[in-house]
Amino acid sequence: MEKHKKTREKKGKKGFNLDLKDKNTQFILVGIFIIAVLAVMGTILMSNMQNAQKEVKPEEVVQTAAKIQFIEVTLSDCKTNKCFSLQSLETAIKNTDKNAEYETKTVLYDTEEGKALVEKYNLAKLPALIISGDISKVKDLETQWLAAQLGTKESDNSLVLRSVPNISYDLGKKKYLGQVTMTTLSFDECKECAEVPKAENFGLLVPPVTIVENKKVNATTDEGKQLIQKYSITAVPTVILSKEIAEYDALMPTMGELGTAESDGSFVFREQGLNPVYFSIKENRLVGYVSAFYIIDSNCTTCPTASDLNTALTAAFGFKVIENKYADVREPTNLNTVLSWGITKVPAVVYVGDMNAYFIVKKLWSNLGIINGDKYILTNMDFLNGMQYEDLNTLPKNTAVNVGELVVNTT
């Protein structure tokens, strides 16, 4: 009997844009919010690129170059305390008009001039940036500054940075904000456990978090056991951030799905599903291993093979597959069995094991497939470019064959 094949043409990968193969970026993929400073920098740079592509007519050339002054109000130990650098913002502004003349002046807060500037502009955090001069001659600078809510326009036409990212010095509280200590609670005896993110990876969050100290503690030591008891930790490895993490206001709304804020202000990551394998203290075992059963049609020469699927799906999801097998629907028992599971097209993949340990499964599986008992059945693989399916309803069925265990082979 001639096969009927269902082919779906792809223009590219669809759906989610997952980078679960990268262990470090998995842990930080939920950092979604855009800090105003970075947003305006990107906007300014894009505007500059667009302007550069436009033809400049002779009558449009500015005869007199704009003169812009950057005044940085800071503290003598700000650099030592890893304060936010104003340089990247200043560079972005300079790139909008390379013909302008720019001057940067640094004023220390503990000088008379510094205190006068703080009082005049009612500065709350340092380092502060005050922009003065021919601001109107720099295209869109004022408009973009205000639209991005970076700061204010003052009565003397100066632009003052108000949204100062951490690390910054709060003049009212008389302390530096955003100096986070990171404690990595590891399980050194577990050679198969996933790595936790490095301190520098938190700098990739939006807004970026600055880790000033990184402590490493083995869960089996006395200190490790005390941390486990103190914070009721149920799985390792994990990360504990000091109470200063709460000073990153824009980040905190996204953190709820990753862990818990504790009574002492610390934040404990509890979502190990972003990066299995991990050790469950409660279950006293390693969690994150699964077995995969690839449901294929051996007569479909244009469908991907089990090996192809294994390579592609491992890269996409990062599941820790310890056993790969395949089942051919041309085997009558297999066809009737997979139909009873709700599978109507192949290839499909059936996962069993610690699937619910994975964050992506808990959050996205309803868009990817179905769950039948302990079986997680991946039926939607449209995100794989050029995916082709076989419609099982077109295959001949042997009603004399009962539903049973899959007849499988090892890939």
One domain, residues 309 and 398: yes
Q: Does the pLDDT value for residue 220 go beyond 90? A: yes
Strands (E), 285-330: 285-287, 289-296, 320-328
Residue 338 sits in which domain range? 5-18+287-410
In a domain, 188, yes or no: yes
In a domain, 377, yes or no: yes
In a domain, 29, yes or no: no
Residue type, 352: V
Q: What is the pLDDT of residues 105-153, one digit of tens each?
A: 999 999 999 999 999 999 999 999 999 999 999 988 999 999 999 999 9
One domain, residues 43 and 141: yes
pLDDT on residue 105:
97
How many CA atoms lie within 13 Å of 296's alpha carbon, on the beta-carbon side? 23
One domain, residues 211 and 249: yes
One domain, residues 332 and 247: no
In a domain, 142, yes or no: yes
Percent of residues, the chain, with pLDDT higher than 90: 49
Binned at pLDDT 50, 70 and 90, residue 6 comes out as very low
> Of the ranges 159-168, 199-208, 285-294, 373-382, which one carries the lowest mean pLDDT score?
199-208
Top-confidence residue, 404 or 281? 281
One domain, residues 229 and 293: no
Enumerate long-range contacts of 74-77, CB under 8 Å, 24 or more apart.
74/106, 74/107, 74/108, 74/109, 74/126, 74/127, 74/128, 75/108, 75/109, 75/110, 75/126, 75/127, 75/169, 76/108, 76/110
What are the residues whose beta carbons fall under 8 Å from the beta carbon of 368, sequence distance 6 or more?
378, 379, 380
Q: Which of 164, 197, 223 is the last residue of a domain?
A: 164
Residue labelled with tokens 């919010």: 33
Mean pLDDT of the region 279-283: 92
In a domain, 24, yes or no: no
Beta bridge partners of 294: 326, 349
Strands (E), 187-319: 211-218, 235-236, 238-241, 259-261, 267-269, 278-280, 285-287, 289-296
Residue type, 411: T
Q: Which of 274, 307, 342 is the last residue of a domain?
A: 274
One domain, residues 50 and 136: yes
One domain, residues 302 and 253: no
In a domain, 281, yes or no: no
One domain, residues 313 and 242: no
In a domain, 25, yes or no: no
pLDDT on residue 310:
86
Q: What order of strands is seen across the sheet that includes strand 211-218? A: 211-218, 180-186, 238-241, 267-269, 259-261
Kind plus residue range of the DSSP H or E element containing 224 = helix 222-230
One domain, residues 253 and 362: no
Gyration radius (Cα) of the chain, Å: 29
Question: What is the model's pTM?
Answer: 0.72
Q: Which of 274, 306, 330 is the last residue of a domain?
A: 274
pLDDT on residue 162:
95
Instruction: For residue 70, give the DSSP letter.
Output: E
In a domain, 280, yes or no: no
One domain, residues 299 and 399: yes
Q: Does the pLDDT value for residue 37 go beyond 90? A: no
Residue 121 in tokens: 């502009």
Distance of alpha carbon 319 from alpha carbon 294, whole angstroms: 14
Q: What is the pLDDT of residues 299-308, one digit of tens each?
A: 888 888 888 8
Which CATH number belongs to the domain containing residue 222 in this structure?
Answer: 3.40.30
Q: Does the pLDDT value for residue 23 go beyond 60? A: no
For 236, counting Cβ atoms within 10 Å of its Cβ (0-12 exposed, 13-18 middle, 19+ buried), the class is buried
Q: What is the pLDDT of residues 76-103, one digit of tens each?
A: 999 999 999 999 899 999 998 989 999 9
One domain, residues 60 and 118: yes
One domain, residues 391 and 302: yes
The total number of structural domains in the chain stands at 3
C-beta separation of 83 from 116 below 8 A = no
